Amino acid sequence: MKHQLLAVIAAFAFVALALLSGAHQRGALLGAAISGLTGVASILAMGRFARGGLKVVQRALAVFVVAFLIRLGLVGLGVFLVVRSGASVVAFVVAFFVPYFALSLIEGAFIHSLTRESGPTA
């Protein structure tokens, strides 16, 4: 549960930082919001699908991959919307990928914690 809480706090922090980005706020806010929401949804889904039973790590990794593919589509859609609205694409990209990498580290730490809980694999 600590990884999920950390992800939520980080997502809110990145959205708050995006609100402080001045003239580039629209692009930054969209990037941080998409990245934060998908990151939190991903780690919550990992926790839900990786409960008990066998192959918890494999199920968590499957969620990680699906979340990556969803993010890939959303970053493309976000760039399109930002360009169309005339907002800053650079602000969007930075505000998307900085939280993305931070939240991916938290997700990776969560998956690693599952390996310790599930015992030896061989």
- Close Cβ partners of 61 (under 8 Å, ≥ 6 residues apart): 111
Q: What span, in angstroms and rounded, lies between the C-alpha atoms of 122 and 110?
A: 21
Is the model's pLDDT at 118 over the cut of 70? no
pLDDT in tens, 55-102: 888 888 888 899 999 999 999 999 999 999 998 999 999 999 999 999
* Residue 122 per-residue DSSP state: -
pLDDT band for 51, please (50, 70, 90 cuts): confident
